[in-house]
Structure 1
Amino acid sequence: MPAPSALNGQDVSGQSPLTVLVNQAQGFILLVNHSNGATASQTIRVVVGEGGSFSIAAVADPQYADVPVGWRGGGREPEEGVNRLTHAVTQYNQRNLDWGVVLGDMIDFDDIDYGNPPPGTASGTHDWSNADAILAAWNQLNIPRYHVLGNHEFYVPNADTDGMKKPYSVFRKFGFDQQPYFSFRHKGFRFITIMADWRYLDFDPSLPEYTVAQNYY
Structure 2
Amino acid sequence: MDKILNGSTLYDVLSAIVPGYLFLLWCRIVFLPKEFSVTGLDELSLGIIIFVASYLVGLLLKFFLERLFSSVLRNQFSLMQKACKKSEIDEEEKKRILAVTDECLFKRNYYIHYYIAVNYNANSSIGTIEMQIAFIRSMMAVILLYIIAVPKIASYIDLNCNYSLGLFICLLLVEILITLLIFSLQVKVHKLVWEDSFYAEENKKNNKRVYYEKEFIAGGIVRITIVL
Q: TM-score, normalised by structure 1?
A: 0.22
Higher helix fraction (1 or 2): 2
TM-score (norm. length: structure 2): 0.21
Based on CA coordinates, which of the two structures has the bigger radius of gyration? Answer: 1
Q: Which has the higher strand share?
A: 1
